[in-house]
Amino acid sequence: MDHFLYRDGVLHAEDVPVAEIAAAVGTPFYCYSTATLTRHYRLFDEALAGLDHLVCYAMKANSNQAVLTLLGGLGAGMDVVSGGEYARARAAGVPGERIVFSGVGKTRAEMRTALEGGIRQFNVESEPEMEALNEVALSLGTVAPITVRVNPDVDAKTHAKIATGKSENKFGIPIARAREVYAHAALLPGLRVVGIDVHIGSQLTDLEPFRLAYRKVAELTTALRADGHDITRLDLGGGLGIPYERSNTAPPLPVEYGAMVREELGDLGVEVEIEPGRLIAGNAGILVSQVIYVKSGEGRDFLILDAAMNDLIRPAMYEAHHDIVPLIEPAAGVEYAPYDIVGPVCESGDTFAKARQMPPLKSGDLVAFRSAGAYGAVMSSEYNTRPMIPEVLVDKDKFAVIRARPTFDEMINRDTIPVWL
Ligand code: LLP
């Protein structure tokens, strides 16, 4: 459930008519709902009730400082994957003991920053990384808490570009080698093993792959404990999917996911961490855009919007579906017709949807892409020198711009011209 609903035929973000925000900030823009972000974080927190747990929001999904401040304030930890994300989390007031550092290629500089600033744990993904972290920790006279990310060789049954738990993927160490790698870690005085990490992919719409992976992690926990390692914490990754198409069957709910976690891991006496990103932020955001032209082509009609692939790259990159709805609710019985919905960028890949059934729309009308709160703004670029679009946060009947649209001068002045030119 989200808080973008039609009221009296007009799309609202919580209690604010979305068109009112469009009039104030101009299109295109992202709009997020405080109530939805809050609700989704709490759903996970409550789903794990009874287990010692921490929900570490995967901030790669949406790392606006206002979003981080909101979630951090609710008690969320953060899953970071770069020095930049670590800096953002800290700037939003999240203490180091609630930050986990994931990622397959952490640099020594990033390790140093996190060790100096405070960190809950590093999720280490290879032996070379383990050795580097050991050296950095020793050079700072400290000990780095670690888990090792294991690759359970499980098919997450999701888009190939966001599946991470098969042996051909670059992530983690093969689970079959785990005991050997943990034995290696135990010999390194700059490291302290605290647990195991696993993440098998994103936008999973079935619990079974999670269950298979967690079962393997449970077996490994027992084996590693028998080897003498102190396994007190399991990081179970993120990945629970969201319903992008209202017409489709909905993926499992956090409460069902939580019940499965309890079934598979509840008896191990461990602290559980999860790293949801998409499910917290995805349906908490929309992308609002204006129709520039309606163009009749040969055998098809185009809706040309002022948003483009640089603003929301998911359709171009993953063939992702986003529901696109007009801000004015279509009258009952109105006739829908197929449109190719495109942006103004000079590539055919700048297509949001093909032959999408839409109600009648004309130049100047406003539309909203649903489920755009995760992996939307964070993956945007200034391709075609199109400014990064504003982000707006709504809370009941008020709204605020939480990232402003840069001016052309600001964009141009980021470049410098060498003296010899
Ligand atoms: N933990 C780790 C280690 C991850 O790599 C990811 C996502 C997550 C947690 C959060 O997964 P989530 O709960 O959001 O599914 N840009 C793609 C998604 C990439 C996901 C990458 N890793 C998209 O737009 O679909």
User: Is residue 24 domain-shared with residue 115, that is, in the same domain?
Assistant: no
Number of domains in the chain: 2
Nearest CA to ligand 1 atom 6: 238
What was the pLDDT predicted at 1?
Answer: 65
Nearest atom (ligand 1) to Cα of 149: 3
Q: What stretches of 144-202 adopt beta strand conformation (E)?
A: 144-151, 173-174, 191-197
199 in contact with ligand 1, CB cutoff 6 A: yes
User: Is residue 257 domain-shared with residue 306, that is, in the same domain?
Assistant: no
315 in contact with ligand 1, CB cutoff 6 A: no
d(CA 180, CA 93): 38
Q: Is residue 191 part of a domain?
A: yes
229 in contact with ligand 1, CB cutoff 6 A: no
User: Is residue 339 domain-shared with residue 376, that is, in the same domain?
Assistant: yes
d(CA 135, CA 245): 48
User: Is residue 244 domain-shared with residue 157, that is, in the same domain?
Assistant: yes
User: Is residue 24 domain-shared with residue 120, that is, in the same domain?
Assistant: no
Nearest atom (ligand 1) to Cα of 159: 25
Helix pair angle (65-74, 34-47), 10° resolution: 40
Q: Own/partner pairs for 90-95, CB < 8 Å, 24+ apart?
A: 90/117, 91/65, 92/65, 92/68, 93/69, 94/68
User: Is residue 252 domain-shared with residue 304, that is, in the same domain?
Assistant: no
Q: 151 has which bridge partners?
A: 174
Q: 53 has which bridge partners?
A: 272
| CA 151 to ligand 1 center in whole angstroms | 15
The residue from 274, 304, 321 where one domain ends is 274
CA 69 to chain centre: 16
| CA 279 to ligand 1 center in whole angstroms | 10
The residue from 243, 274, 305 where one domain ends is 274
Catalytic residue numbers, as ranges? 346
Q: Where residue 339 sits, what CATH number does that domain have? A: 2.40.37.10
Residue ranges of the chain with per-residue pLDDT less than 50 = none
Q: Where residue 161 sits, what CATH number does that domain have? A: 3.20.20.10
pTM summary value: 0.97
**Residue 159 class from Cβ within 10 Å (0-12 exposed, 13-18 middle, 19+ buried)?**
middle
What was the pLDDT predicted at 164?
Answer: 84
User: Is residue 136 domain-shared with residue 259, that is, in the same domain?
Assistant: yes
User: Is residue 264 domain-shared with residue 349, that is, in the same domain?
Assistant: no
SS3 of 235, please?
A: strand
Question: Which residues, 6 or more positions from 175, have their beta carbon under 8 angstroms from its beta carbon?
Answer: 150, 151, 152, 153, 216, 220
- Mutate-to-test residue for ligand 1 from 278, 312, 314, 369, highest number of ligand atoms within 8 A of CB: 278
Q: Is residue 120 part of a domain?
A: yes
d(CA 286, CA 284): 7
318 in contact with ligand 1, CB cutoff 6 A: yes
The residue from 237, 254, 274 where one domain ends is 274
371 in contact with ligand 1, CB cutoff 6 A: no
Residue 401 belongs to domain spanning: 4-31+282-412
Q: Own/partner pairs for 21-26, CB < 8 Å, 24+ apart?
A: 21/288, 21/392, 21/394, 21/399, 22/288, 22/290, 22/327, 22/366, 24/399, 25/390, 25/392, 25/401, 25/405, 26/390, 26/405
Q: Is residue 59 part of a domain?
A: no
Q: Is residue 144 part of a domain?
A: yes
User: Is residue 123 domain-shared with residue 230, that is, in the same domain?
Assistant: yes
Nearest atom (ligand 1) to Cα of 61: 14
**Residue 192 class from Cβ within 10 Å (0-12 exposed, 13-18 middle, 19+ buried)?**
middle
User: Is residue 163 domain-shared with residue 245, that is, in the same domain?
Assistant: yes
What was the pLDDT predicted at 2?
Answer: 83
User: Is residue 266 domain-shared with residue 119, that is, in the same domain?
Assistant: yes
Indicate the Cα dihedral angle 195, 201, 203, 206, nearest 10°.
-80
| CA 164 to ligand 1 center in whole angstroms | 9
| CA 154 to ligand 1 center in whole angstroms | 16
Nearest atom (ligand 1) to Cα of 203: 15
| CA 119 to ligand 1 center in whole angstroms | 21
Question: pLDDT, tens digit, for every residue of 259-308?
Answer: 999 999 999 999 999 999 999 999 999 999 999 999 998 888 999 999 99
